[in-house]
Structure 1
Amino acid sequence: LMAKVAGKLGKTKDQQAFITIGNQIKSDFNKAYFNASKGTYWEGRQGADVFALAFGLVPEDKYQSVLNTMLEHLKTINYHFDTGILGTPLLLKVLAQNGKHDIIFKIMNQKDFPSFGYLLDPKNSTLWESWNGDGSKSHPMFGSVVEWFYSGVAGIKVDPKSPGMQHFMIAPQNISELTYCKSSYQSMYGNIRSEWKHDASGKWKILIEVPENSSATFVLPQGKQKINGLNGQSYSIEKVDGNYQSEFQSGTYEFELL
């Protein structure tokens, strides 16, 4: 982060110094905590592996091994959380980055301990500080997972190259157990909408709204390559970094994915 800030400010010497420090921290961290033979960190808990994966601390050639270990651990505990208030949003982030949205949906829909379904049981009614309830009974930090509903299910994302969301991304995910999504986000330029549903014939219909004086890139989900306008509109598609996408200016658009 500090290297990025220094780069934005044009402080190249500081940027290089921060990069050097970061590389040394990464090396020392892996020497102290990484078990290469098991593909895991420290005790092999979700949190330990998730932090390393989320913060870019895993050696590039070991990333898939650590990810696979984490996925296997999730399977072993029947897709429940084994993370605290800091690791929980990072778990969703890592899974989303690797296209595992169906797994996220499965984790988020568990009803037994430890899960959000357990916390939302009528006998409880608040978000707790810890899964077992031995701390505060009114603690908002587990609410961090709501971000995934916007960035993952609805696909509304910040474009890092456009601070303030004058340009943004919409990249909804086709989650097999969901039939519809309806979301909106109030940006500084106006209301952003991303809605979708699967109709009876299996078609995937999309509605997006781009506020005035802004623009959006719509990224088609895996397996989709064309956009069919529902009101006679036609859309150009291009392939960028392996993904099909289309550019939209201000307005409201309805289309289906093919």
Structure 2
Amino acid sequence: MLVWHDYLYSGDDRSLRKNYEALKGRAMIDKRSPEGFFLGTNKGDIRDIVDWPAVERDGYDMNPPVKTVVTAFHFHSLILLQKIAEHLGKTADGEKFASLAEATRKAVNEKLWDESRGCYVDAFDPATGKASTHASSHANFFPLALGLVPQDRVKRVAEFIKSKGMVCSVYGSQFLLDALYDAGEGDAALKLLTSREKRSWLNMTEKVGTTITLEAWDPTLKPNLDWNHAWGAAPANLIPRKLMGIEPIEPGFKKVRIRPQMGSLSKASIRFPSPKGPILLSIARPDSATWQADLTVPPGSAAEFHLPPHVEGSLKLSSGTPRILRTENGRPVLALLPGSHQLSLKPN
């Protein structure tokens, strides 16, 4: 994941080329079951973790060898390896990774989905053919964040996740919030980002008194936590990537997606650095019927801007006639070239 995102954000593929063979080994294809699950382990120095500390697993059933969370990571690794192989011109490898990923997708969605509850269960035992009866939040937000959930199940999985709240560690929160934003649940994500409950960033700063993100939400959850932990800093990337919605579509920001999900915020602005130059975005929504965005797309880049859903009215674009590419999840998507743009939606 790290190597792919380094390429996606920088446009520099030297690390991909240098480390390709090592990356293939990291997929641990030899640990796959015939159905396509990843066979983990609960023994030895290298074992399944799911989340840490252990009290943050939402009661996860750790006993079976196949865990939904671990298999979701394996699936995502295969998808990224497919993209890397295709970029490097290794067609046969790309086809192999795609086939393996599809088998994993099929196995998870057939064996680990609980239709009656609208969620995924924690684990599966290939020896008995039985799935776990326990369904944790982790078994759902990790697959959703890692692209394993079919579109027709996204809403139900998101509702299940929302019903649980913040029942994971600061590490897990990255994937929980990614999952909510990817499902279009910006309101729910913002509530968790700004919460003052024990499992929150404001608890770290206001109650615990830290000035740097912690290893765990609170000393009561991990008495020997350290006070300088990068995995606790998820908002530092979630706010630009998901709340303001700025993510590269093509490596090096040759093309960028801008899909804001501000929730209840009435205004927000950001200066986002990219290899092409800064992306400037300010959004204001003074009332439910009026919306305005000011955007600067740097030279050498192009943008796909997702308008807010369920906003009726006339669209005006300062830089010319709006060109709608498509509608995606109820949001019209505009094509924007380099330059400054002011977009506004007002009642007719």
Q: How high is the TM-score relative to the length of structure 1?
A: 0.81
Helix, strand or coil: the match of 2:234?
helix
For residues 191 and 96 of structure 1, the distance between their equivalents in structure 2, rounded to whole angstroms, comes to 23
**Corresponding letter in the other structure for 1:44:** A
* Structure-1 separation of matches of 2:178 and 2:196: 21
TM-score where L is the length of structure 2: 0.62
How far apart are 1:181 and its partner, in Å?
Answer: 0.3
Q: Give the equivalent residue in structure 2 for 1:8.
A: 87
- Note the C-alpha offset of 1:92: 1.2
Moved more, 7-16 or 104-113: 7-16
DSSP-derived class of the 2:173 partner:
helix
Answering whether residue 85 of structure 2 is matched by residue 22 of structure 1, we say no
| 2:326 corresponds to 1:240 | yes
2:120 to 40, 59, 83: 40
Q: What's 1:150 paired with?
A: 240
Q: 1:246 to 1:31 in 2, by over 3 A?
A: closer
- The alignment yields a C-alpha RMSD, in angstroms, of 2.8
**Deviation sequence 1:8-36 (CA, Å, 0-9, x none):** 33333222322333344456656886555
Give ranges in structure 2 of 5+ residues lacking alignment.
1-79, 123-133
Match of 2:144 in 1: 53
Q: Please name the residue that 1:78 is paired with.
A: none
Write the deviation string for residues 59-94 of structure 1: whole angstroms up to 9, x where unpaired. 6765554333223223xxxxxx21224321111111
- Matching of residue 109 in structure 1 with residue 200 in structure 2: no
What are the ranges of 5 or more consecutive residues in structure 1 without an aligned counterpart? 75-80
Contact residue 158 and residue 183 of structure 2 kept, 8 A? no
Shift of 1:201: 9.1
SS in structure 2 at match of 1:240: strand
Moved more, 137-146 or 247-256: 247-256
Letter matched to residue 119 of structure 1: M
Q: Quote the Cα distance in structure 1 between the aligned partners of 2:121 and 2:255.
A: 38
User: How many angstroms apart in 1 are the aligned matches of 2:281 and 2:265?
Assistant: 15
- The Cα shift of 1:236 comes to 1.9
2:209 equivalent in structure 1: 124
CA–CA separation in structure 2 for the residues paired with 1:137 and 1:50: 26
One-letter identity of the residue aligned with 1:169: R
Contact 2:155/2:183 (8 A) holds in 1: no
Q: Residue 122 of structure 1: CA displacement? A: 5.8
Asked if 1:208 is matched to 2:295, the reply is: yes
State the aligned residue count. Answer: 247
Q: Work out the CA distance in 2 between the residues paired with 1:40 and 1:215.
A: 38
Please list, as runs of the form range in 1=range in 2, the aligned pairs for 1:181-200 lying within 5 A after superposition: 181-199=268-286
Displacement of 1:113 in angstroms is 0.6
Report the AA paired with residue 218 of structure 1. Answer: F
Which residue in 1 is equivalent to 2:21? none
Partner Cα distance (1:248, 1:30) in 2: 37
Q: Using the alignment, how far apart are the partners of 2:308 and 2:206 within structure 1?
A: 33
Q: Secondary structure at the match of 2:273?
A: strand
- Using the TM superposition, name which of 51-60 and 189-198 deviates more: 51-60
| Aligned residues with identical type, % of pairs | 22
What is the SS of the residue equivalent to 2:195?
Answer: coil
**Matched-pair contact (CA < 8 Å) for 2:137–2:160:** no
Given candidates 231, 235, 251, the residue that maps to 1:141 is 231
Residue 77 of structure 1 corresponds to none
| Higher mean C-alpha deviation, range 20-29 or range 218-227 | 20-29
Larger displacement relative to structure 2 (148-157 or 195-204): 195-204
Partners in 1 of 2:226 and 2:341 — Cα distance? 45
**Paired residue for 2:158, among 50, 61, 67?**
67
Give 1:240 deviation, angstroms: 0.6
